[in-house]
Structure 1
Amino acid sequence: MAADDNDITSKKARSKLAAQNTIYWKTLKPGLYLGYAKRKSGEAGIWIMRTYLGTEVTGTASPYQKQNLGKADDFASNDCLSFAQAQAKAFELQVVREKQKKAGVKTGPMTVAEALEDYLANLKAEGKATVVDARRRIDTHFLPTIGKIRIEDLTTDKLIKLRNTMATEPVRLRTAKGQPQKWAAAPVTPDEQRARRSTVNRTFAILKRALNRAYKNGRVHDATAWQRVERFRGVDAPRERILTVEECQRLVNAADAASGLRDLIHGALLTGCRYGELCRLKVADFQNGRLAIHKSKSGKPRDVRLTAEGRAFFAQITAGRKPTAWMFSKQDGRPWGDSQQGRPTTAACLAAGIEPTNFHQLRHTYASLAIMNGTPLMVVAQNLGHKDTSMVQKFYGHLTVDYQDDEIERGAPKFGIVRETNVVPFKEKAI
């Protein structure tokens, strides 16, 4: 297929071209083309290189590979490429590609699976604790469905269809290795459907981040297909149930001490740490009255500040123990593992006579009680491992409003002046 030889060599010529979804192409040499994408009038266009792959592609896939080269210098020169610069870059990349091809290095179009694997490798390199969860979601939802598809062949319709299918699927249950997959019932009630769509939002965000990384690295020329796929709206979880101080006391007392659960729950309530963070703690991580979290969800370390009660608790459970020992361990001395806290926590709630709650709610309880006691949002956010107050405000903003109301009532000036009036507030009749 021959490319159309459009005049894209100068700013003046490009300014006369109409904005459109298709690309204006110019042949540089047989099998190599330079494209100019002008999506909107008044905005700088994008230079795109297209290479003919020939026999490297089989089946119905397109025999062309596209690569984003950068913005055109339509309105500015900084960080933008002129036609001559884009042309030189295309020739340079073509030489590199030919050398890679001779060396046996794969140079064809990037598939969704390759983008996802690259994303996971980057998470691992950055030490992000989310890599395990991301790996599970990718293996379950994306590799079997769209993994083999080239990113360039993705369409918004395909992605929306996948998103909607995921939202109606039953939840996968934990299944022993080698056994047929077990499934829960499909979501039926409004709350089940809301929860499922919320999960899909989080899972689809992983796919988008991987594809955006491929786009940023120049492996694909257009990100429109997935950027048009919107999140499900209005599916954020309702306000979390927060335990009262009295309920926390009952829960700690009811938790099994011999199994190590009691100390684990107590530690969570005193710190707001995530389950995984607590499981990775060593005795040596309690120093100078603080806890050192070396690996968090974000991958960044932090120090957790403690109350006097918290310092006394950690001093007690670490006293006389080896620095390399697990701070929280099970009865057999081994550390707590993935998803081993769920059922014991539910059993402890039932024994305490309170509504069952999951372990992560202990983190929410810590944050809520701290805020209601007047702790500044930024202090709470930093102790939880957030870079700013946005997440704290999202989940606990209503608590700060209540607190502010109480503080105004307590501290704002009162003058004791009562205006006399004959107006009586209207009371509605009971129906």
Structure 2
Amino acid sequence: MARSARNSSLETRTARAKLRIRRAPYFAKIAKGLRLGYYRGAVAGSWIARLYRGERNYETKALGIADDTLDADGVQVFDYWQAQEQARQWGERQRLLAAGAARRGSYTVADAIADYLTEIRAEKKPAAVKGAEYVLDAWILPELGAVQVEKLTTDRLNRWRNKIATEPKRVRTKRTADEQATRATPDDDDARRARKATANRILTVLKAVLNRAFHADRVVSDSAWRKVKPFKRVDEAVVRYLSVAEARRLVQTCAKDFRKLVQAALLTGCRYAELTRLKCGDFNADSGTLAIRLSKGKVRHVVLTAEAQDAFENWTIDRPSSDLLFLRADGDAWGASHQKRPLEEASARAGITPAVTFHILRHTHGSHLAMKGVPMGVIASQLGHADTRMTEKHYAHLAPNYIAQTIRANFPVLGIGDEAKVMPLRRTKRA
């Protein structure tokens, strides 16, 4: 960010009030070829910007009212520092226009989104692009799409973020529906935390769009969205996992074709999409590993236990290596979201509430490894985390550690549990 230029004659109301009223503005140099001007009026002054074009040619721009009698609002009334920032943004935009980098006319959030999607389609996997399109279509375009990027304000973006955090949770809507369906959100701490976490993720997508536009010189400044901060302390790890008994009950109540997927998830910690893409040739019986391809752009090898190796050998025996490993009972491949209803039904039959999600199966694998003292780096490698930060966030509290072991070994048994027997005190006789 450019360094702010000081000017003792223009910085404060008191200093400006001492200036003589005249038709010519008072100028302060804020960058090479760029000046901030102040017109001293009888009651209140105003700000202008002046840019040197060469050969004694200048271009000027009226910025707004000075805060001589009114408090600055950053929209129509500006103090010296706000006016200086406005002048810098205008000067930078004129430079970009002259260089052919910035667009002439209005450049809206919708335009920035279109440019963003064009770029990421060449960089990211189709699934990632589809996910971004959903967020952009559902949350960003309806509210902000028509707004010019240079007219975005921090206040506007904060109000948009807060609206997302307080709206009811959306549910899947029929294509023929006229309005978006919503689900009543419980008014408790967990529900509010979840909505704020959702708002943070959507804000991250918007910032990615706008930052691309800024770094490509399509817009002048990123100050409006750079000042918008995510909600704090809403992503604390609340990991739910299944006990060994619950895992067995769940597997036993699944339909035969879906049971294999659930077993594989519990035995490997793989994501649903990773398992549905597996081919028989991805299982290596010699090394006892499973090759997970195209997992976030990488290939990783999941180590299989003896139980997992036996299961995968049974599932792949006498099958071509090019066949999909997991198929539905009708022979079709498992598609996106096909796991949701079978898991809900199996959870109900197994008496597990709330219903299990596929991600909980993944958490179950990681959690049991952590509780057995497996190092975080090993768990990160097994689950395909880029580093140990995500692993530690979710599983470090489950791992045996010095503090927990020391407390449990040294705190005395008080005998105050519900099953403790309370002996009545005997009164001593007085002499």
TM-score by length of 1: 0.71
How far off is 1:243 after superposition? 0.8
Match of 1:299 in 2: 297
Letter of the structure 2 residue corresponding to residue 94 of structure 1: A
**Could you tell me which of 118, 122, 125 is aligned with 1:125?**
122
How far off is 1:266 after superposition? 0.7
Letter of the structure 2 residue corresponding to residue 309 of structure 1: E
Match of 1:84 in 2: none
How far off is 1:4 after superposition? 9.3
Match of 1:164 in 2: 162
How far off is 1:409 after superposition? 8.7
Match of 2:98 in 1: 94
Match of 2:384 in 1: 385
CA distance in 1, matches of 2:186, 2:199: 13
**Could you tell me which of 266, 269, 274 is aligned with 1:272?**
269
1:361 equivalenced with 2:360 (yes/no): yes
CA distance in 1, matches of 2:167, 2:258: 34
CA distance in 2, matches of 1:372, 1:5: 68
Superposed CA deviations along residues 94-123 of structure 1, whole A, max 9, x for unmatched, are 2546xx9xxxxx654532123223333443
CA, structure 1 residues 378+109, in 2 after alignment: closer, same or farther (shift >3 Å)? farther
Gaps of 5+ in 1: 15-21, 35-40, 52-64, 68-89, 101-105, 415-424
Match of 1:173 in 2: 171
Letter of the structure 2 residue corresponding to residue 27 of structure 1: Y
CA distance in 2, matches of 1:284, 1:237: 39
CA distance in 2, matches of 1:292, 1:25: 63
Contact 2:267 2:304 in 1 (8 A): yes
1:248 equivalenced with 2:247 (yes/no): yes
Superposed CA deviations along residues 52-103 of structure 1, whole A, max 9, x for unmatched, are xxxxxxxxxxxxx827xxxxxxxxxxxxxxxxxxxxxx48x72546xx9xxx
CA, structure 1 residues 145+329, in 2 after alignment: closer, same or farther (shift >3 Å)? same
CA distance in 1, matches of 2:215, 2:298: 23
Gaps of 5+ in 2: 1-24, 36-46, 62-80, 417-421, 423-431
Name whichever of 108-117 and 142-151 sits farther off.
Answer: 108-117
How far off is 1:158 after superposition? 0.9
Letter of the structure 1 residue corresponding to residue 98 of structure 2: Q
CA distance in 1, matches of 2:59, 2:366: 58
CA distance in 2, matches of 1:159, 1:246: 48
Match of 1:136 in 2: 134
Match of 2:93 in 1: 66
Letter of the structure 2 residue corresponding to residue 313 of structure 1: A
- 2:302 aligned counterpart, secondary structure: strand
CA, structure 1 residues 135+10, in 2 after alignment: closer, same or farther (shift >3 Å)? closer
CA distance in 2, matches of 1:393, 1:46: 44
CA distance in 1, matches of 2:109, 2:169: 24
How far off is 1:187 after superposition? 4.7
Match of 2:5 in 1: none
How far off is 1:310 after superposition? 2.0
1:152 equivalenced with 2:168 (yes/no): no
Name whichever of 138-147 and 24-33 sits farther off.
Answer: 24-33
Match of 1:28 in 2: 53
Match of 2:341 in 1: 343
Superposed CA deviations along residues 220-267 of structure 1, whole A, max 9, x for unmatched, are 22212112222222322562222112221221122111xx21011111
The alignment covers a number of residue pairs equal to 352
Match of 1:198 in 2: 197
CA, structure 1 residues 344+294, in 2 after alignment: closer, same or farther (shift >3 Å)? same
Letter of the structure 2 residue corresponding to residue 348 of structure 1: A
Q: Larger Rg: 1 or 2?
A: 2
